Structure 1
Amino acid sequence: MPTFTEDTVIKTGAATSDELLCEAAGLRWLAEAGAHGGMRCARVLSASRRQLVEERIRTGTPSRAAARSIGAALARTHAVGAPWWGCPPAGCPEGAAGIGRAATPYVPRDEAPSSWGAFFATYRIRYYVRMLRDDGSFGPRETDLLERVASRVERGDFDAEQPALVRESGAVCARLHGDLWAGNVLYLADQTEPSGGALIDPMAYGGHAETDLAMLQLFGYPYLDDVIAGYDEASPLTDGWQERVGVHQLAPLLLHCVLFGGGYIGETIAVARRYA
């Protein structure tokens, strides 16, 4: 668990792991969007394998106005872009294999898929399903179901253009937070700040903007409709995005199955059946 002081959050890690260095790189990478109206991010004060020290964000009361600002700022963060599907954040240690406790993989540039579907099927759905099959959480029935979904994803059945600002940027893909649940998007105490909120605890990589938005919708968020409206106003979403939410949610759902098992397995299977 992190240690909190009045002004800082301090996290400790293992000397053999790059996890904290990758998190620090993610915060810095996402913060680059601030110059373009993107989300504020917790500032990294120091980082090593053993310890990450970052700014402690002063949080405030959620509001509809701040939620709309968060949506617009998130759209601009995504639009700063990333150079290939599954890429690590700039500054991540060379050769770092993955993100977070389940080591969700980064993709080396020379192995980068040419489409979102190819990336998501291989490096998210099938990656987690192998883990769940190997530890006995998934049997043949669950594995076959998710493989049918992965096959549809891989052949492009759910591929869609990025939101408008990402397309206009010319980037290959969006710059994602990667773990965008409610606890990682903080409403700011100072509601005069343009972004309305701040990002913490990223698992940042290059992907599809709809994946971040789907994660935010998975567990709920105060004034979520206003966040989506603010995003869509700043960077219009591609038609049919609502129907693709569940596909994108399979990544965090499968990860939660790996980490926590239990009820997440039933929820994941229910979502997968809609897209098989």
Structure 2
Amino acid sequence: MRSAEDLGASHGRRLQRGVLEDGREVFVKIGAASEVFASEAAGLRWLGEVADVPEVVEAGPDRLVLSWVPAEPPSAAAAERFGRSLARLHRAGAPGFGAPWPGFIATLPMDNTPAGDWPAFYASRRVLPFLRMARLPAADVALVERAVERFAEVAGPVEPPARIHGDLWSGNVLWSGGSGVLIDPAAHGGHRETDLAMLDLFGLPYLDRVLGAYREEWPPADGWRERVPLHQLHPLLVHVVLFGGAYRDGLMNAVRRVLAL
């Protein structure tokens, strides 16, 4: 590498902006995270068959090198292009619910072993494993388990596996080139409402424009907004595991809303 600029750290990994010998600008993550880097690279390549993502330049045992994405301010027009692009990504589909690579969200491992249907996958591969890690009071655990028992009943119309980002909060959408570029995926075959619910959880500039364009390209099934809390259970549990009880109230509010469906 010709030069490198330190950008700080995230989840225990050093971040750099670098220039390669051939003049290309790159974004570099450095750390002993070979499985995490391999998973991220696999997800980016898979999503990149359909959507705008950084190019994977190198995925090694101690570093992940991606093409540099120049950021720009979001706009209504970019949000609409992103909404249509996200719908096309989801519609590209997946072989099943899961993925052939190990999953990670932040530094936490996720089981991507395929399951026969989405409610079973979501319960056994996403919600219950993180519930066991969350160290919640017994009464909270029991309430979450009651919600899990209702997944098949409240999941809405059966849909084929979608090709989803899997961790689609606003920080993982870079505005560049007049649209949104996807970064840091937890990509797998899942339910498309999961990505929409994640955008809703933490907000996104011009989210109404994103969703409006998405609906024009591929309308979600009726009742999807009522199912948003169902799809937010997993990311809220992740935040409880990573950051503690500050997210407990949000989680339990979502659980009660699922039980009320």
Matched, 1:273 2:256: yes
Structure-2 separation of matches of 1:56 and 1:210: 29
Matched, 1:148 2:146: yes
SS at match of 2:49: helix
Task: Report the counterpart of residue 168 of structure 1 in structure 2.
Answer: none
Which amino acid letter does the alignment assign opposite residue 9 of structure 1?
F
Q: Percent identity?
A: 43
Task: Report the counterpart of residue 171 of structure 2 in structure 1.
Answer: 183
> Relative contact order (alpha carbons < 8 A, sep ≥ 6): 1 or 2 greater?
1
SS at match of 2:71: coil
Say which structure is richer in strand: 2
Which amino acid letter does the alignment assign opposite residue 111 of structure 2?
P
Match of 1:238 among 211, 221, 238: 221
SS at match of 1:54: strand
Match of 2:65 among 47, 53, 59: 53
Match of 2:28 among 10, 32, 35: 10
Match of 1:101 among 107, 127, 131: 107
The gaps in structure 1 that reach 5 residues or longer are: 34-38, 163-171
TM-score, with structure 2 as normaliser:
0.88
Aligned residues of 2:104 and 2:186 also touching (Cα < 8 A): no
Matched, 1:21 2:38: yes
**Cα shift at 1:122:** 1.4
The gaps in structure 2 that reach 5 residues or longer are: 1-8, 10-14, 20-24
Closer/same/farther in 2, CA of residues 156 and 85 from structure 1, 3 Å limit = farther
TM-score, with structure 1 as normaliser:
0.83
**Cα shift at 1:187:** 1.2
Task: Report the counterpart of residue 6 of structure 2 in structure 1.
Answer: none
Which amino acid letter does the alignment assign opposite residue 211 of structure 2?
I
Aligned residues of 2:154 and 2:227 also touching (Cα < 8 A): no
Which segments of structure 1 move beyond 3 Å, counting only runs of 4 or more? Answer: 96-100
Matched, 1:158 2:155: yes
Which amino acid letter does the alignment assign opposite residue 106 of structure 1?
N
**Cα shift at 1:221:** 0.4
Structure-2 separation of matches of 1:47 and 1:215: 27
**Cα shift at 1:98:** 4.8
Between Structure 1 and Structure 2, how many residues are aligned?
241
